[in-house]
Homo-oligomer: A and B are copies of this chain.
């Protein structure tokens, strides 16, 4: 069975990681048969759209590899990808995470809608978000989150792991299951690992629906998150901001208060849903829309992601796939914005090109 073929791999991490670390102990702790494959029960915010459960499979299940190779989401159990990080409590991290500064976001609401700081600067004062970034040392963050009370701004730490972290963290990092994840990278022909983002946030925090331009293994360490994904074919349904906008890659829609008049195609979406728990790894394929909700009553949610660049394009086949069209649109939008040399001219230009002609 293919299940048995996973472990006998070279024990050295051949790919440099953002922490420049090489794997020293990469033997997965377990390779048992699947324990939980039933879909998680629905929890969290009630939503207007139907969902189906993202398959939940043992990391060695050949079906899991098939889904990944098809760029379809899957929750992997038992991968032990970040088992060594299971002890990363706030107290542990306070001592071991190191002396560096960490990006902590403060939100006026429960939504943390990412914005591009460079685009925000270029875009000018027209753009204000209810979200603010402060850089602080880790113990300061721990104080804030522990003393947080209703009415305070919500807090979400989102920081890429770097070489600056303490030695204990480096050791745990080296203990990640690089063997398995490097094998995934190779078999799917992905590009390099670009970063490991560490997320530590409060229950109820929401990362609104957006897409990334990278392949993502999203590993849960503590707390529970509801992850709702939508395929790139739903590009139209989510009405993403213009590419030059600070909210590039984010949907303009508010899934809590859907405006079907303004965004008519939103009404027909269908989600792919999973609740990830400590030890689970969710594969979020590149260009898939996703919303992440830290579930209430599940404690502080800690996750770490593994972002990989796309592989080489290879031979173009027609018809183009939805995600290839998304990439094309992004390039066209960038080109137009660059050529016009003025943000304010982009919208009328787009309208001239399309309204009454292709509409």
Interface residues of A (CB under 8 A from B): 235-236, 239-242, 252, 262-265, 318-320, 325, 328-329, 332-333, 335-336, 339-342, 345-347, 349-359
Of B328, B341, B351, which one neighbours A318 at CB under 8 angstroms? B341
9 A-B pairs, CB-CB below 8 angstroms?
A236-B355, A240-B357, A319-B342, A325-B349, A346-B358, A350-B354, A354-B354, A354-B355, A354-B359
The answer to whether B332 and A332 touch across the interface, beta carbons within 8 angstroms, is yes
The answer to whether A329 and B358 touch across the interface, beta carbons within 8 angstroms, is no
Using A320-B340, A342-B318 as known contacts, say yes or no to A356 and B325 having CB atoms under 8 A apart.
no
The answer to whether A329 and B356 touch across the interface, beta carbons within 8 angstroms, is no
Taken together as a complex, chains A and B put the C-alpha atoms of A262 and B355 apart, in Å, by: 10
Taken together as a complex, chains A and B put the C-alpha atoms of A262 and B121 apart, in Å, by: 39
Residues of B within 8 A of A242 (CB): 357-358
Residues of B within 8 A of A341 (CB): 318-320
Of B239, B328, B339, B342, which one neighbours A328 at CB under 8 angstroms? B339
Of B328, B351, B356, B358, which one neighbours A358 at CB under 8 angstroms? B351
The answer to whether B347 and A358 touch across the interface, beta carbons within 8 angstroms, is yes
Residues of B within 8 A of A345 (CB): 319-320
Q: What is the CB-to-nearest-CB distance from A79 to chain B, in angstroms, rounded to a whole number? A: 36
The answer to whether A320 and B339 touch across the interface, beta carbons within 8 angstroms, is yes
Of B263, B329, B336, B349, which one neighbours A349 at CB under 8 angstroms? B329
The answer to whether B320 and A352 touch across the interface, beta carbons within 8 angstroms, is no
Q: What is the CB-to-nearest-CB distance from A334 to chain B, in angstroms, rounded to a whole number? A: 12
Using A318-B342, A358-B242 as known contacts, say yes or no to A352 and B328 having CB atoms under 8 A apart.
no
Of B240, B336, B346, B351, which one neighbours A359 at CB under 8 angstroms? B351
Residues of B within 8 A of A235 (CB): 352
Residues of B within 8 A of A357 (CB): 239-242, 252, 350
Residues of B within 8 A of A318 (CB): 340-342
Select from chain B the residue with minimum beta-carbon distance to A240: B357
The answer to whether A333 and B319 touch across the interface, beta carbons within 8 angstroms, is no
Taken together as a complex, chains A and B put the C-alpha atoms of A242 and B358 apart, in Å, by: 7
Residues of B within 8 A of A352 (CB): 235-236, 325, 329
User: Beyond A320-B339, A325-B340, A329-B349: 16 further Cβ-contacts under 8 Å?
Assistant: A235-B352, A236-B352, A236-B355, A236-B356, A262-B356, A319-B345, A328-B349, A329-B352, A332-B332, A332-B335, A332-B353, A350-B357, A350-B359, A353-B354, A354-B354, A354-B355
Of B239, B265, B332, B351, which one neighbours A336 at CB under 8 angstroms? B332
